[in-house]
Amino acid sequence: MATQHHDNRLTSRFKLAIVLVAATLLGGVLSLLSACQPGSINTMNTPPDLSNISRLYLVTVGRDGQTDKILSALNPGNGHIFWQHKLDDAVYGYGLSTQGIIYLPAQDGNVYAFQGSNGQSLWHSIMSHGHLESTSVWLLAYQNLIIDSITDRTNDNGDLYALNMRTGEVVWHTSITCADSPSNDCAAGGRITSLANGVIYGLADDGFSAWNAANGHFMWRNPHYQLNGQPQSMTVSHGKVYITNFYPEVDVLDATSGHFLHSLRSLEPSNSETVVYDITADENTVFVLGGQTVSAFRASDDTLLWKQTFSYHSGGTLYAGSGGVYVNYYDISMGKVGTGGSSGNDLYALHTQDGHQIWYQQIPIGGSNLYPIEFNGIICFGGLGSVYGLHLIDGKQLWQFSKGSYVDGLFAG
């Protein structure tokens, strides 16, 4: 996504989710893999203004999930291709674009930069870290820096690199080791990372930490919050970090110290599975997505503004855009023996002021929790093997892009 909704996702908006699924799910491994990555995280604060953005960037991968990777630039108005560029198999699809340049991470933690106008390669970093396929990588944009967050999934050690956007030169580097953790708890896992207001936030098995994005200096750690394999999200608003980890509560922390302030209670019906899938915020409101509710809280004092109830879904993502709040509910089931199944994505557009439904649309072959991209009058959603352009006002489908491959990443620039 264009700057990933991070720097107030940039952005998961920079909402964040980690979902473990069986390899037998039809396309589930690929679509849910996107949720583990920064490009599909619903991260931080107000989404950027994309009204003048002219390209939708799409990374697709072959049916085996690892080869035949293609980076495409699409016209968001009609889904037509501007250009396409073949990618190395080791490059991930969850990238970002800012200042006319596309950035994609690789399995070894290095960053590859491409020209947004034509897809031509500009530079790639040459940092040495870990073994191929043993790292978790997130990219964030801050001022003229690309922040490369790398975690060794075998022990949670890692690195934060800040690279010059134009050259790839390392501006600063911070090592993250188990010794940094007061609890000394560094089980195998990873780290989900977001950025807001000049602060990098990282959630790992050893706790929830913060670093200064300008120089990489460590700021604080709260060991109470840990990566747990469930859908987990965070957002920052009004000097507070809102963080959830699948349970009914959303905890509110002081953004400058990481200290616990209070909790927001989920408003799920008492007879339902009380889960929280995602959380996001715009300038004034914090939105919480549960298994069958969307709730809105006033960011200044965390009081409830409204609640909207839906039928239960097994997963979902939430996006706060200029035209409303967009709910992407999806369900994944096992289907027949040895196959996977998905009932598709239920897409809702809600008024930010009162939660009333603006429109509803369904993508029949879904199973994807990539975040939508909003343009001037158009909102684009990624499905299992397609990308859809919908009219922002009424949700009517304008176009569909499908090339017989899986969608691995979706962002704008």
Q: What is the pLDDT of residues 154-208, one digit of tens each?
A: 776 788 999 999 999 999 999 887 655 555 555 555 678 899 999 999 888 778 9
Give tens-digit pLDDT for 349-387. Answer: 999 999 999 999 987 655 566 788 888 889 998 877 889
Work out the percent of the chain whose per-residue pLDDT is above 70: 76
pLDDT for 121 beyond 90? yes
Give tens-digit pLDDT for 62-101. Answer: 888 788 999 999 999 999 999 999 999 889 888 999 999 9
The per-residue pLDDT for 244 is 85
Higher pLDDT, 272 or 254: 254
pLDDT for 264 beyond 50? yes
How do 304-309 and 293-298 pair as beta strands?
antiparallel
Alpha-carbon span 278 to 261, nearest angstrom: 20
The per-residue pLDDT for 163 is 96
Q: Which amino acid is at 272?
A: S
Q: Residue 83: CB partners within 8 Å, gap ≥ 6?
A: 72, 73, 118, 119
Higher pLDDT, 147 or 185: 147
The per-residue pLDDT for 196 is 94
The torsion region of residue 153 among left (phi > 0), alpha (psi -120 to 50) and beta comes to: alpha
How do 170-176 and 145-152 pair as beta strands?
unpaired
Q: How far is CA 187 from CA 11, 184, 218, 226, 244, in A?
A: 27, 9, 21, 11, 20
Domains of the chain: 28-412 (2.130.10.10)
